[in-house]
Amino acid sequence: MHNQKALVIFSGGQDSTTCLLQAIETYGRGNVQAITFQYGQRHAVELERACWIAQDLGIPQTVLDLSLMQHITRNALMSDGAEIQTAENGIPNTFVDGRNALFLLYAAIFAKGQGIRHIIAGVCETDFSGYPDCRDIFVKSMNVTLNLAMDYDFQIHTPLMYLTKAQTWKLADDLGRLNYVREHTHTCYNGVIGGCGECPSCILRERGLAEYLAEKP
């Protein structure tokens, strides 16, 4: 795959960092780019981490401002002080309507302009927090839509789709980057460096890591 180019949708979290490291391995460092979206997330630390990692890995990164999202939808990830809860329908209030559809659309527009067909997203339906746009069926449908919209043969890859968090840690370890991901990625909903240990995101991350380390030979 070293003669093809890839674009990774990159947030600086565990999942997308693992995807980025895997893409570097698969396509070669010189063929990989990252795209990062800013949409009024509560915590600047997330964006700061994403920029630091991209720079550290020597990957060209495009940061796109989608803060207009704040004008059309409300959400606990974007508003300061809102408590993270799960609604009766099982969808947490950290869900941002349309987010992955928008991300994939903007990523595809950018990718086509760069002659990139492969788009990589760290979405996952296994430890699925109830986000409808993390499901494989959504990504496949979006892939078809993008190909039709731009008359281009995009291939969206979601390497984490059916992995548990423990398996995602294993993937990072297989890439020789377990400690890198552990030390440098940011996943906490509360924006605590090193993790608050209490939010759903920290709990998932820590439980997965403990599970992986316990199984590791």
Binding-site positions for Zn(2+) read 188, 196, 199, 202
CB-CB contact of 201 with 76 (8 Å):
no
209 binds Zn ion (CB under 5 A): no
What sign does the CA torsion over 40, 183, 197, 128 have? positive
Closest contact distance (angstroms) between CB of 26 and Zn ion is 30
In angstroms, what is the minimal distance from the CB of 12 to Zn ion? 14
Question: What is the nearest approach in angstroms of Zn ion to the Cβ of residue 142?
Answer: 29
> Judged by CB under 5 A, which of 19, 20, 108, 188 binds Zn ion?
188
List the binding residues. 10-20, 188, 196, 199, 202
Q: Choose the binding region for Zn ion from 59-67, 71-79, 155-163, 180-188 (rule: CB under 5 A).
A: 180-188
Single residue of 93, 145, 147, 190 touching Zn ion by CB under 5 A: 190
Lay out the sheet containing 6-9: strands in order across: 61-65, 32-38, 6-9, 118-120, 155-157
Q: Write out the residues near Zn ion by the rule CB under 5 A.
A: 188, 190, 196, 199, 202
